[in-house]
Structure 1
Amino acid sequence: MRVVIAEDLLLLREGLVRLLTDTGHSVVAAVDTAPALLDAVAEHRPDLSIVDVRLPPGYRDEGLRAALDLRASEPRPSVLIVSQYVERAYATDLLADGHGGVGYLLKDRITALDDFLDAVDRVAAGGTAMDPEVVRQLVTRHHRRSGLSALTPREREVLGLMAQGLSNSAICSALFLAPVSVEKHITNIFTKLELLPAEDSNRRVRAVLTYLNG
Structure 2
Amino acid sequence: MKAIIVTGAGTGLGKELSLLLAKQDYHMILTGRTEDKLAAVKEQIDQSGGSATALPLDLRNLEDIKEKALLISKTHEIYGLVNNAGLGYFGPFSEITDTEMEEMFQTNVFGTIHMTKAVLPYLEQNREGLVLNIVSTAGLRGKKNEAVYCSSKFAVRGFTESLQKEYEGTEIRFVAAYMGGMDTPFWDDSEHVADPTRFRSAAEVAGIIFDNLEKTEIVIESKKS
TM-score, structure 2 length as denominator? 0.43
Which structure has the highest strand share of the two?
2
TM-score of the superposed pair, with normalisation by structure 1: 0.45
